[in-house]
């Protein structure tokens, strides 16, 4: 049985390893946006498929019997393309999506629908911003010349960027102690993040809670309605039942 895993996430890598252990033919597809990605076991392809029709043709050509969309919660385009291609070809589709973060009683969160709305909230909440929304979409904050930003991302971001900034190239997982020290050292008074969920980057939220730092959280975009698994175990069971 041939399974296509659309990934790049920790869950996608874990799923590929599990399915490989069951002797499935697994192909993991990465978008290619990260210069040095962490590679899963098994066969890997990098780059796009050429839209819905290109993905549908690839599924037919490689006789794929199941697709698991384990991409990042904010990877809207590939999620929509996977849904449409699965509908076109009749190949079963599963969305492996980690649960979003839950706000606690001591958290000071402010929700935004997208990065543009998040940018409008910042001037009234803080002056020194820890921006952890990734390198895509930073143009939304480029006009905020009265604020200072610590921008953390995996690869160097491209302009336009906020004029007053420091760029920190790093990737998770992160620890609470190091996140607390980073926030304290840079005198951060506001954190910005996407609701990515998962444990790899959740430490910043714990550190912000402990230090009383408010957080602007960007909501997840809507995804097409399909079967969803919350973890790798559920996803493996779904594939086994195909």
Domain 2-98+221-240 grouped into CATH 3.40.50.720: yes
Lowest mean pLDDT among 66-70, 76-80, 85-89, 184-188: 76-80
Please give the pLDDT value at position 181. Answer: 98
Cβ–Cβ under 8 Å, residues 6 and 12: yes
Query: What count of other Cβ atoms lies within 10 Å of the Cβ of residue 47?
Result: 9
- Would you say the CATH fold of 109-218 matches that of 2-98+221-240? yes
Residue 5 confidence (pLDDT) above 90:
yes
> What per-residue confidence (pLDDT) applies to 191?
98
Q: In the chain, where are the structural domains located?
A: 2-98+221-240, 109-218
Binned at pLDDT 50, 70 and 90, residue 37 comes out as confident
User: Is residue 31's pLDDT more than 90?
Assistant: no
Q: What is the 3-state secondary structure (H, E, C) of the chain?
A: CEEEEECCCHHHHHHHHHHHHCCCEEEEEECCCCCCCCCCCCEEEECCCCHHHHHHHHHHHCCCCEEEECCCCCCHHHHHHHHHHHHHHCCCEEEECCCCCCCCCCCCEEEECCHHHHHHHHHHCCCEEEECCCCCCHHHHCCCCCCEEEEEECCCCCCCCCCCEEEEECCCCCCHHHHHHHHHHCCCCEEEEECCCCCCCCHHHHHHHHHCCCEEEECCCCCCCCEEECCHHHHHHHHHCC
Q: How confident is the model at residue 151 (pLDDT cuts 50, 70, 90)?
A: very high
* Overall average pLDDT of the 52-57 stretch: 97
Q: What is the pLDDT of residues 190-210, one digit of tens each?
A: 999 999 999 999 999 999 999
Q: Does residue 8 register a pLDDT over 90?
A: no
**Average pLDDT value for residue range 226-239:** 96
Q: Check: CATH 3.40.50 for 109-218?
A: yes
Q: What is the mean pLDDT of residues 200-222?
A: 97
Global pTM reads: 0.90
């Amino acid at each position: 049985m041939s399974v296509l895993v659309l990934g790049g996430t920790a869950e996608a890598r874990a799923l590929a390893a599990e399915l490989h252990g069951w002797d499935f033919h697994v192909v993991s597809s990465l978008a290619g946006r990260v210069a040095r990605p962490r590679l899963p076991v098994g066969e890997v392809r990098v780059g796009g498929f050429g839209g819905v029709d290109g993905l549908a043709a690839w599924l037919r050509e490689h006789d794929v019997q199941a697709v698991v969309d384990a991409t990042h919660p904010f990877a809207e385009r590939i999620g929509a393309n996977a849904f449409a291609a699965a509908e076109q070809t009749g190949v079963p589709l599963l969305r492996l999506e980690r649960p979003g973060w839950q706000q606690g009683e001591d958290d000071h969160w402010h929700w935004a629908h997208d990065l543009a709305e998040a940018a409008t909230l910042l001037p009234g909440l803080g002056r020194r911003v820890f921006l952890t929304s990734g390198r895509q979409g930073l143009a939304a904050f480029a006009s905020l010349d009265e604020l200072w930003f610590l921008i953390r991302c995996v690869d160097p971001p491209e302009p336009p960027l906020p004029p007053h900034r420091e760029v920190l190239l790093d990737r998770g997982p992160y620890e609470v102690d190091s996140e607390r020290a980073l926030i304290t050292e840079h005198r951060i008074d506001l954190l910005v993040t996407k609701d990515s969920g998962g444990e790899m980057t959740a430490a910043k939220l714990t550190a912000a809670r402990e230090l009383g730092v408010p957080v602007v959280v960007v909501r997840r975009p809507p995804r097409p309605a399909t079967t969803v698994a919350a973890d790798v175990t559920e996803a493996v069971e779904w594939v086994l039942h195909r």
